[in-house]
Amino acid sequence: MTPLLLASTSRYRRDLLERLGLPLQTARPEVDETPAPGEAPRAVAVRLARAKAEAVARLYPGQWVIGSDQVAELNGAPLGKPGTVEGAHAQLAAMSGQVVDFHTAVSLVRDGEVLEACDLTRVHFRALGAADIERYVAAEQPLDCAGSFKCEGLGITLFNAIENRDPTALIGLPLIALSQLLRQAGYTLP
């Protein structure tokens, strides 16, 4: 079986995809991730997931390529990866006591054929004090994560509740939706 290509260098996405037990390779997509002016967070996630998959698929004709992207949405505005400790502090302070939506899109592409889905996870943040944020950011350094947390680690302590249909989506790759897309593409999964 030809390996799937994951258009990502994210160790989180690779770890999730390995759960499916399918042959896998990764490739770095060269994609500008800047949102278009006025582009809704869900639309950004869907567009970028497809763009990542298409960028890698052009280099590997005949192979299925998986692209994924996640955009956090707070009060209608997108939140990206913080990139800095200060950025993470600011994001977490803004999300304190709020409900934040996470749009996690996945796209499966081969030779112009596109199968895609987008999962919504709603996270209810507890009220976070400055000391809570300081301790959390120092412990996990979540600078490469949309929304400045890692729910598979200590980030789970920042929440009062999570609403979703797929727990893997919040980590960065919705495996339930992806499994459905892979079956449509002809893969055999349990």
Tokens read off for 188: 């055999």
Domain-located, residue 142 = yes
Domain-located, residue 161 = yes
Domain-located, residue 190 = no
Choose the catalytic residue: 69, 101, 119, 166.
69
Q: What is the mean pLDDT of residues 60-69?
A: 95
Helices and strands, number each (H, E), in the chain: 5, 7
Domain-located, residue 119 = yes
Q: What is the pLDDT of residues 90-125, one digit of tens each?
A: 999 999 999 999 999 999 999 999 999 999 999 999
Domain-located, residue 189 = no
Question: CA 65, CA 57: separation in Å to the nearest integer?
Answer: 6
Q: What is the pLDDT of residues 18-58, one digit of tens each?
A: 999 888 999 999 999 888 888 999 999 999 999 999 999 99
Check if 69 is active-site: yes
For tokens 């002016």, name the residue.
37
Percent of the chain surpassing pLDDT 90: 73
Would you say residue 169 has pLDDT above 80? Answer: yes
Highest average pLDDT, of 72-81, 127-136, 142-151, comes from 127-136
**Quick check: helix, strand or coil at residue 81?**
coil
Would you say residue 1 has pLDDT above 70? Answer: no
* Domain, as residue range, for 46: 4-184
How would residue 3 be classed by pLDDT, with cut points 50, 70 and 90? confident
Domain-located, residue 139 = yes
Number of independent structural domains in the chain:
1
Contact 41, 101 (CB under 8 A): yes
The more confidently predicted of residues 65 and 152 is: 65
| Residue type, position 114, single letter | V
Question: CA 140, CA 112: separation in Å to the nearest integer?
Answer: 39
Tokens read off for 172: 């960065």
Provide the whole-model pTM.
0.91
How would residue 12 be classed by pLDDT, with cut points 50, 70 and 90? confident
Contact 61, 111 (CB under 8 A): yes
- Residue 46's pLDDT is what? 97
- Mean pLDDT score of the chain: 92
Question: CA 156, CA 6: separation in Å to the nearest integer?
Answer: 26
Domain-located, residue 24 = yes
Tokens read off for 71: 């955009």
The phi, psi pair for 125, rounded to 5°, reads -80, 140
Q: What is the mean pLDDT of residues 72-93?
A: 92
Q: What is the mean pLDDT of residues 60-74?
A: 95
Domain-located, residue 90 = yes
Write the CATH number for 40. 3.90.950.10
